[in-house]
Structure 1
């Protein structure tokens, strides 16, 4: 399971709200066209998504305000792709998340990194007791998450997220 995200222009956001079936095309391209390539996601957190969510919220599945909504927040939209429907975050929520992510530093997140607690909470993937390399893995993807939300907020865009 990996988490991908896509920034949505105002027109794309309006299209998704008007017709949720456009979600799949925006995230995965034209699945009916055998020759069409899947578009590259603008955010790809690989398998780090659940670990980052834990660092942001201290929980496995609860969604918080601000940075706590960066991974699992938003409103479900479209069909269930196997790991739940995609989630849509409006531009105001994106700005709040970006501001909260920008306020976090590595030391704060390191203090929240508890491999034993993460293993006990079944945080995906089950690699947390392997050593400190996992924290570095999370931080490389956290930096990507922060850049993604910052750029999206600066441009006044919405976000579409999906676990695939």
Structure 2
């Protein structure tokens, strides 16, 4: 399971709200057209998403305000692709997430990294006790997450997230 995200312009947001079936095309491209290349997602956290969520919230699935909404927050929209429906975060939520992520010190997140607790909480994927490389893996993707939300907030964009 990987988490992907896409920033939405005002026009795309209006289209998604008017017709939630457009979500799949925005996230995955035209799946019926074999000649079309799949668009690269603007955010691809690979399998780090659940570990980052744990570092942000200290929980496996609870969603909080601010940074706690960065991974699993938002309103469900569109069809369930197997791991739950995509989620839509509006511009106000994006700004709150971006601000909270910018205020989080990476040292605080590093201090929250507890491989035994993450394993006990069944934080996906089950790699946390393999060694210190997992923390570096999480921090590199956390940096991507911060950039993604910062760009969305700066450009007054909504965000669409999906676990695929």
Question: What interval of TM-score do these two structures reach, taking the shorter chain for normalisation?
Answer: over 0.9
1:152 corresponding residue in structure 2: 152
Cα deviations across residues 63-89 of structure 1 (Å, max 9, x unaligned)?
Answer: 000000000000000000010100000
Cα deviations across residues 1-37 of structure 1 (Å, max 9, x unaligned)?
Answer: 0000000000000000000000000000011111111
Which segments of 5 or more consecutive residues in structure 2 lack a partner in the other structure? Answer: none
Following the alignment from structure 2 to structure 1, what is the Cα–Cα distance between the partners of residues 111 and 16?
A: 39
2:133 corresponding residue in structure 1: 133
Which segments of 5 or more consecutive residues in structure 1 lack a partner in the other structure? Answer: none
1:92 corresponding residue in structure 2: 92
Following the alignment from structure 1 to structure 2, what is the Cα–Cα distance between the partners of residues 136 and 146?
A: 15
Following the alignment from structure 1 to structure 2, what is the Cα–Cα distance between the partners of residues 106 and 96?
A: 18
Under a length normalisation based on structure 2, what TM-score does the superposition of the two structures give? Answer: 0.99
1:110 corresponding residue in structure 2: 110
After TM superposition, what 4+ stretches of structure 1 lie above 6 angstroms from structure 2? none
1:120 corresponding residue in structure 2: 120
Question: 2:51 aligned with 1:76, yes or no?
Answer: no
Under a length normalisation based on structure 1, what TM-score does the superposition of the two structures give? Answer: 0.99
Following the alignment from structure 2 to structure 1, what is the Cα–Cα distance between the partners of residues 97 and 106?
A: 17
